[in-house]
Amino acid sequence: MLLRQRVVETNEAAILQEVGVYAYHHPLDDSVAYKSELSRLQDRIKAMVKKDGGAISASTTWQVDGSVVKGRKMVNDISKLMLRAYNAEADNLVRSLKPYKVQSAKDRLTKVAHTIANLGSSMSIRVSVPYHELRLRELELTADYLEKVTEEKERDREERERLREERKVEQEIERERQRLRKEQQQFEQAIRQLEAQGDAEGAERLRVQLQGVMGEIEAVDFRARTLTAGHVYVISNIGSFGEGVLKIGMTRRLEPMDRVKELGDASVPFIFDVHALYFSENAVKIEREMHLAFADRRVNRVNNRKEFFRVGPAEARDALARLSGELMTFVEEPEALEYRQGLHESSGVA
């Protein structure tokens, strides 16, 4: 019963590691630290492989034709072949290692060590326990290193995406600021002309419009200064992710639909439907509170940067209304136009 339980636990661990839940054997800070530790370990492996380094043990009393010298030579030659076969397997396992398959790689190498011990039993030839443990540790460290490299690449990719998004926000704000400044100059020039012509009433009308432009400029400047301001969005894509799955996030874009359209690019088969776009001076906080409210319903329980949740639109609406404290427009039924048209055409063909 205990053995069966261990097999089940091993299988579950392998499945979790395959989908990204990797448990480090020797936690270190970064890939550089793993690489350094691996280098030190491999130096120890090389030292043990040298003659009389202790990588393999064998009988010292074996005789050939009654000669201990000939017997020792035969044992040494066969030991070298055995160790070469073991190291070839170990090196191949290291080269082809996938982090989530580290346990199966260790099991395979242990089986090779047992096979060598069985084949060399008459001469007591076997891979030494300390050397075998070093090579098992090498597999563990290699798996840890590969996983850490993958994590760092993913983190770098996300950071590049964040910086790209910030640049787009800055460029969008600057374009809008320039447009409004130009409009301001046009109004001010027109007002001066009307005043020069003695048209006080016309000049006053333009001043009212100018105040609106100045208000827009102030709003744009506020958005540029305030990193927490933006739109919280609730969107879905039932053609891509199915019913009852929402993406809840925030964007600082002046035109939030630009961000929604980007999310529905060629990486997904259908565009996203918008349930809500809510502007707040503290959109970051509202987004965080929304994520906390539905934390137990994350689609991806491992990577919290993935913002998909198994939540119905009505629940998301109530949570957003509670956090915003305001009435707002919320679309509960997604249009999913392309997806529904595709279903209709498929049923028509059938």
The pLDDT of residue 69 is: 83
Question: Residue length, the chain?
Answer: 350
What confidence score (pLDDT) does residue 325 get?
81
> Average pLDDT, stretch 128-153?
95
Confidence of residue 128 (pLDDT cuts 50, 70, 90): very high
Antiparallel, parallel or unpaired: β 308-309 and 273-280: unpaired
Distance CA 107, CA 7 (A): 13
Mean pLDDT value across residues 4-29: 61
For residue range 268-327, what is the model confidence (pLDDT) as tens digits?
899 999 999 999 999 999 999 999 999 999 998 777 778 999 999 999 999 999 998 876
pTM value is 0.70
CB distance 86 to 113 below 8 Å:
yes
Longest dimension (CA), the chain: 129
Query: Each residue of 35-61: pLDDT tens digit?
Result: 999 999 999 999 999 888 899 998 877
Exposed/middle/buried for residue 251 (C-beta within 10 Å: 0-12, 13-18, 19+) = buried
Tell me the torsion sign for CA atoms 17, 23, 26, 29: positive
Q: Measuring CA to CA, how many Å separate 315 from each of 49, 200, 229, 278, 320?
A: 64, 55, 24, 16, 9
SS3 content of the chain, % helix, strand, coil (to 5): 65, 10, 25
What is residue 279's three-state secondary structure? Answer: strand
pLDDT in tens, 164-195: 989 999 999 999 999 999 999 999 999 999 99
